[in-house]
Amino acid sequence: MTHLQAGLSPETIEKARLELNENPDILHQDIQQVRDMIITRPDIGFLRTDDAFILRFLRARKFHQTEAFRLLAQYFQYRQLNLDMFKNFKADDPGIKRALTDGFPGVLENRDHCGRKILLLFAANWDQSRNSFIDILRAILLSLEVLIEDQELQINGFILIIDWSNFSFKQASKLTPSILKLAIEGLQDSFPARFGGVHFVNQPWYIHALYTLIKPFLKDKTRKRIFLHGNNLNSLHQLIHPECLPSEFGGTLPPYDMGTWARTLLGPDYSDENEYTHTSYNAMHVKHASSNLEREASPKPMKRLVLPLKSALIWLSEQVWRKSHRKGSSGLKRGCNLANVDGALHSGLCSWCGGRKEASRWNRNYLSDYCA
């Protein structure tokens, strides 16, 4: 065992050997081979190249030196291309602090039965007048930077659970393809973490649609590790033991305290939500917050789709129609742009098609508004 493995349990060292091809006898050679490749990318500023830092990239790519270097290059390139995201990249940055205070992300104290750290996202807590999606993404990336310093987590990895309960269509409409792609690039392609699973719980139909939309941007390995459980917590418990989960996910632990991780990162700077005041960072959102809340408080039917998501769904459904039409499918109407959304057929007609609606489970509730 070298000093780079100091602090690791014998079980974890053996796991690294078996699963990641980590060999302590040639660890320094592996690291140097990656470091020697840096000269091939003069367009990238490699701001950190010490042994411990490069080692986490090797572990993330199972000690394939070329793949580890590619990930290292993408890590710094992503930061070069998105400089604004990484300005004042620390917990007391106003935007990051707000996101952390609101529970983005949640981090469970205990690990799962495989030694993986469990991250939680309660999507409905996203107050769009308070937190931008970019600041939530920054808070997640900063949290991962802190957590990945733990060598045990470099080897065992992470689990992410996203609870979509009460996540509204209006909130979903802000998840444009461009910002989803930014998140995928930051988490999948540019960070040295091993994600053992991403679990969707209580997801509504429009999250299914968005997931279908972003699938082409996901690697096969990533797609195989995304699980859509819906309301079936039993399937979640087959993969993550209830003893590791808070009661919100049918676990035996107490309900998750949203301030747990924020207190860890912010320390004395932590303040409860009620004590925290908005800053100029999102003043443009705060300006109209009160009037927006008043308008949203009054009940009203959902209107036409917000443009970014509507355009994405139209594009998606047209691709599905073309694919099905080539196969001779007779179940889809050429005139309907919502012919198929992730398997939910619009089997009848709508006002876009000019006639009767014979809606599926999803369409029965929403078709008249979305196709109006």
- Check residue 237 and report its DSSP letter: H
Predicted model pTM:
0.75
For the segment 235-267, what is each residue's pLDDT rounded down to a tens digit?
Answer: 999 999 999 999 999 999 999 999 999 999 998
Contact in structure between 121 and 164 (CB atoms under 8 Å):
no
Q: What are the start and end residues of each CATH 3.40.525.10 domain in the chain?
A: 89-274
CA dihedral 112, 218, 211, 327 (to 10 degrees): -130
Per-residue model confidence (pLDDT) at position 128: 93
SS3 (DSSP) at 49: coil
For the segment 97-131, what is each residue's pLDDT rounded down to a tens digit?
Answer: 999 999 999 999 999 999 999 999 999 999 999 99
Mean of the per-residue pLDDT values of the chain? 80
Q: Supply φ then ψ for residue 140, to 5 degrees.
A: -65, -45
Per-residue model confidence (pLDDT) at position 353: 36
Q: Which CATH architecture has domain 89-274?
A: 3-Layer(aba) Sandwich (3.40)
- Check residue 131 and report its DSSP letter: -
Asked whether the predicted pLDDT for residue 333 surpasses 70, the reply is no
CATH number corresponding to 3-81: 1.10.8
Asked whether the predicted pLDDT for residue 360 surpasses 80, the reply is no
Asked whether the predicted pLDDT for residue 346 surpasses 50, the reply is no
Q: What are the start and end residues of each CATH 1.10.8 domain in the chain?
A: 3-81
Would you place residue 213 in the very low, low, confident or very high pLDDT band (cuts 50, 70, 90)? confident
Structure tokens at 94: 């106003």
Per-residue model confidence (pLDDT) at position 268: 81
For the segment 277-329, what is each residue's pLDDT rounded down to a tens digit?
Answer: 333 323 323 233 333 433 433 433 333 334 455 555 555 555 544 544 444 44
